[in-house]
Amino acid sequence: MTSDRLQRFRDRLSLPLIAAPMFLVSGVELVVAACRNGVIGSFPTVNCRSTEQLEQWLGEIATRLQQHADQTGRKAAPTCPNLIVHRSNTRLEEDLAVLLRHRPEIVITSVGSPAPVLKPLHDAGALVMADVASIRHAERAAEAGADGLVLLTAGAGGQTGWLNPFAFVRAVRAFFDGIIVLAGGISDGCALHAAEVLGCDLAYMGTKFIATRESMADDRHKQMLVDSSADDILLTTAFTGLQTSMLKPSIVAAGLDPDDLPARGAIDIGKDIDVTARENRPKRWRDIWSGGHSASGVTDVLAVDDLVARTIAEYRGAGGR
């Protein structure tokens, strides 16, 4: 399945793949390395400490990718900022204004309807893809005019979906002819090709990109993924209030029992009377690390160049073009 909306980028992609936008993990180095290897590089705008830093990141990414194109004669894959559209993002309007100035080719919206930002982003020439975790959310995003849907399925790292990817993709493809991106469980090129056969245009790969030299993740997080398998991933609401895939070993290292966690969202809510206790409390994302079911496919910490080359070989070996 190849959506016509992706044709403008097709000759710039080595794989139908997005390096997933990951909180506190995706930064300039990871995005640049992914894009110059023909993989769409994405990052949450909230990974930048300020709107000013977002401006700097986008400028640096664009400059380095243009230098790459000048040196190689090959234009890099698109850069794809990820915009949190939920009301909790107090920088939404400011970050959107920065994106409109830089005119990214693709933008992914998360945690809410893309409707409020669709027109300005479309006017700026961007394709807008919305992440969704249910059939109803997919229908609403499609009705709003999203160019693509990122289907969050069971097995994705971090805040995740719960639907089986086979059922979810086929149900959405029955009513949506735009871009479909599968998020969850893509551990190698064979799985990527399977996603295409299922009816997807692109897929996320997140967990394996955490364990790259260019990611901003703590080195201990990277090694923990190498040492872990899918059995070490725990789906819990304890840290965010939403279903979130976390690494059990990081929970244990923080002094918590994965089998006896507090109630929904009770950890890290910042309501301790004792200030010292609040400061020492394990922090989600900083101390409690995420990972997806594809942790079983992480066998070493690689440079992005090597990860993409390996994935291309797997993809072609499985019958991908």
Domain spans, the chain:
4-216+299-317, 219-280
What CA–CA distance (Å, rounded) separates 272 from 277?
7
pLDDT tens, residue by residue, 188-246? 999 999 999 999 999 999 999 999 999 999 999 999 999 999 999 999 988 888 888 99
Contact 86, 38 (CB under 8 A): no
Residue 309 has pLDDT above 90, yes or no: yes
What CA–CA distance (Å, rounded) separates 156 from 185?
6
More confidently predicted of 285 and 316 = 316
pTM for the whole structure: 0.93
- Give the sheet arrangement for strand 244-247, strand by strand: 158-159, 244-247, 233-236
What CA–CA distance (Å, rounded) separates 78 from 60?
14
Q: Which helix (H) or strand (E) holds 177?
A: none
What the block records as the tokens of 219 is 């080195």
In 152-212, alpha helices (H) = 165-173, 189-198, 207-210
Query: Quick one: CATH architecture of 4-216+299-317?
Result: Alpha-Beta Barrel (3.20)
State residue 276's pLDDT score.
40
Residue 258 has pLDDT above 60, yes or no: yes
Tell me the pLDDT band of 283, cut-offs 50, 70 and 90: low
What the block records as the tokens of 65 is 């990718």
Mean pLDDT of 299-314: 98
DSSP label of 303: -
What the block records as the tokens of 230 is 């899918």
- Looking at this protein, which amino acid is placed at residue 158? G
pLDDT tens, residue by residue, 17-64? 999 999 999 999 999 999 999 999 999 999 999 999 999 999 999 999
Mean pLDDT of 156-171: 93
Residue 2 has pLDDT above 70, yes or no: no
Under 8 Å CB-to-CB from 165, ≥6 apart: which residues?
Answer: 151, 153, 154, 155, 182, 184, 185, 195, 198
Residue located via tokens 């994965």: 258
Contact 192, 317 (CB under 8 A): no
Average pLDDT, the chain: 92
**Pick from 311, 281, 278, 279: nearest CA to 294:** 311
What CA–CA distance (Å, rounded) separates 213 from 242?
29
Residue 285 has pLDDT above 70, yes or no: no
Residue located via tokens 């990527």: 192
Q: What angle do CA 209, 47, 39 make, to 5 degrees?
A: 35
